[in-house]
Structure 1
Amino acid sequence: MSKRQHRYRITLEHVAASMPEQPLHEPLSLDFTNHDDVSAIVQRVQNAQFLPHEQAAELALGAKLLGNVLLANRDNPLFAELGQAFADFVKKLKAQPRPTAE
């Protein structure tokens, strides 16, 4: 690892099934790195208040995870069309107005 990276671990826990007879899945844990402080990004998106608090966290985290995969696999034809569209989306996301202080 040539650049300093933040290290993260996410654990996904299946807490309820959509139907009572369906079994719960075992927790899934995944480690990843990112050059950004992902927690700070989640907080900024939540503070922008253009989505409900939990959805803002889902969006920020999902975008960072997808961005990591796109960067690591930029030569993969599967992602050819998604790369520019994702970059455009991230620009729009970053341009969201910040709430004014009351």
Structure 2
Amino acid sequence: MAKKGNRYRLRLELLELLRPDDKINSPIELEFGNHDNIFAIIEKMKKRDRFKTEQDSVEFAIGLKLFSEVMLKNRDNPLFEDFRPAFGELMKKIKSAK
């Protein structure tokens, strides 16, 4: 059976609370698939230097890939109906940038 995509593991852990009275949640760890090599995309975004910091580039790349893969898997969901054309334009802009 052929692989359908790359597999990743992500761990989200709260390191510091802004408001001390907020609930402290346990870390979340999830595994997910993506058709792209997210590490290669992160490196491309860092080299393009489009954000104020390298950290912003990394966060943007990870967030974008998580979001876009969910949107692809749920392409018939009306939630994305109005956003899909704008997202397509955003992706063209990102890919065309040097």
Q: Taking structure 1 as the reference length, what is the TM-score of the superposition?
A: 0.86
Q: Aligned-pair distance for 1:2? A: 4.8
Distance (Å, rounded) in 1 between the aligned partners of 2:78 and 2:90: 20
- The superposition leaves residues 36-70 of structure 1 with CA deviations (integer Å, 9 ceiling, x where unpaired) of 11011011101111111010011111111111011
Distance (Å, rounded) in 1 between the aligned partners of 2:12 and 2:23: 15
Q: Taking structure 2 as the reference length, what is the TM-score of the superposition?
A: 0.89
Q: Which runs of 5+ in 2 are unaligned?
A: none
Opposite residue 84 of structure 1, the aligned amino acid is P
Distance (Å, rounded) in 2 between the aligned partners of 1:84 and 1:31: 28
Opposite residue 54 of structure 1, the aligned amino acid is Q
CA RMSD of aligned residues (A): 1.5
Percentage of pairs with the same residue: 36
Q: Aligned-pair distance for 1:35? A: 1.4
* Structure 1 moving runs of 4+ over 3 Å: 1-4
Q: What is the aligned length? A: 97
Tell me which residue corresponds to 2:45. 45
Matches within 5 A, 1:9-24: 9-24=9-24
Q: Aligned-pair distance for 1:3? A: 4.5
